[in-house]
Structure 1
């Protein structure tokens, strides 16, 4: 069976360490009894351990050469190998509307996009595991007050408990990436209503972190455009803080404060 050549334009770095592959596969056991969707299986190093588990497994792969390889290597899985772009998929159709675990050795250049899409389907995905760039994993698991705490930290932790499981060195990949990797697990928390408008929450978080060195009373002005909030809005204590100092609960409160002003201004 001819090996698949890693493609730089797809950000492919194939894991070669079978022990690590098995450890990653075992992370899905935190959410038993539901199907698994693997993103970017490549040559199936992770897939081979996922299919040993007593649950349905599907794999989505954008690379046609990898799809052909997987058809040959896993003939029994052929119907469940999806030659599609994950970012364009309707995830409600994958398992007929049933919940599933998301896992994979995620392409570094689109990992954040993958997780933002996951948030759109958070009620379908109670658990997400897999390997990503270490820097991104640290950001996702970061606590308020740290330099790595940012947009991804807040938006993911609002809905998921994020665990940084272990670090993976560069030398276990073909080709070796220029950075270290990390395996994470995200488990859906008990939040069903965040307590504010979700769309505005995302907008507020992204707006203030795009100017993370500035106080909120400065960065929030972008949301109001040329309109001016009511007197005293920018004088509140929270306005002297910078975004990395706020907890998720404080971001919810801030979003509600902004929503009240937008309503007053008719925006």
Structure 2
């Protein structure tokens, strides 16, 4: 699949000997993966500028995807597999709720043409038989947005930016979460518990703008 029309003839010429290869002139982000069946294997050298959009699409349409092997920016690959700590990001937590993610190897920038300014990473993403979370995706995603929207703030500060401080204190105390830590310190079980507890307050219509 290629969006650049200049590359289509080149790809067609290079793959014409393979009867099981079809070159599609299309925008991956605009297609429905479900149209191609289930248990898909996706392989791609992702443009670094749209990596997040591609991975979010993978999450949204995960029923159609069995696994994927992608080349991404090295720093992104590190964040996708990072344990709780300063390298964790919202996308990595979201992705690992539904997929097993492995960082396979670093790829030198010198093997690309033209060479980018950073090294690449080869990552393998395999859909889990069951999600690691128990809440609906919408609630989980809104919880991530609420906390990571205040990345440099503590959990209490992040929650108190949207809810009455007394309620924020009550929720964190009930869950046994340290109000002084940041969201990056939580593991997936913590995120799931927090999302379940916040679920009554995270209706679709609720405005998550800071108070």
Listed as ranges, the gaps of 5+ residues in structure 2 are: 207-211
TM-score by length of 2: 0.85
Matched, 1:211 2:150: yes
- Equivalent position of 1:190 in the other structure: 129
CA displacement at 1:186 relative to structure 2 = 1.1
- Give, in whole Å, the separation in 2 of the partners of 1:213 and 1:231: 18
Structure 1: stretches of 5+ with no match in the other structure: 1-59
Look up the SS of the partner of 2:49 in the other structure. Answer: helix
Structure-1-length-normalised TM-score: 0.69
Q: If you compute each CA radius of gyration, which structure gives the higher value, 1 or 2?
A: 1
Q: Deviations over 1:64-83 (max 9, x none)?
A: 01112112222356972111
For 1:166-245, what aligned pairs fall within 5 Å after superposition?
Answer: 166-192=105-131, 194-224=133-163, 229=167, 232-233=170-171, 235-236=173-174, 237-238=176-177, 239-245=179-185
SS where residue 80 of structure 1 aligns?
coil
Q: Which residue of 2 aligns with 1:85?
A: 27
CA contact (8 A) 1:230 1:261 kept: no
Q: Distance in 1 between matches of 2:131 and 2:173?
A: 32
Which residue matches 2:79? 139
Partner in structure 1 of residue 209 of structure 2: none
Distance 1:137 1:227 in 2: 36
CA contact (8 A) 2:160 2:168 kept: no
**Partners in 2 of 1:222 and 1:69 — Cα distance?**
53
CA distance in 2, matches of 1:133, 1:77: 32
RMSD after superposition: 2.5
In structure 2, distance between residues paired with 1:204 and 1:68: 45
Moved more, 73-82 or 167-176: 73-82
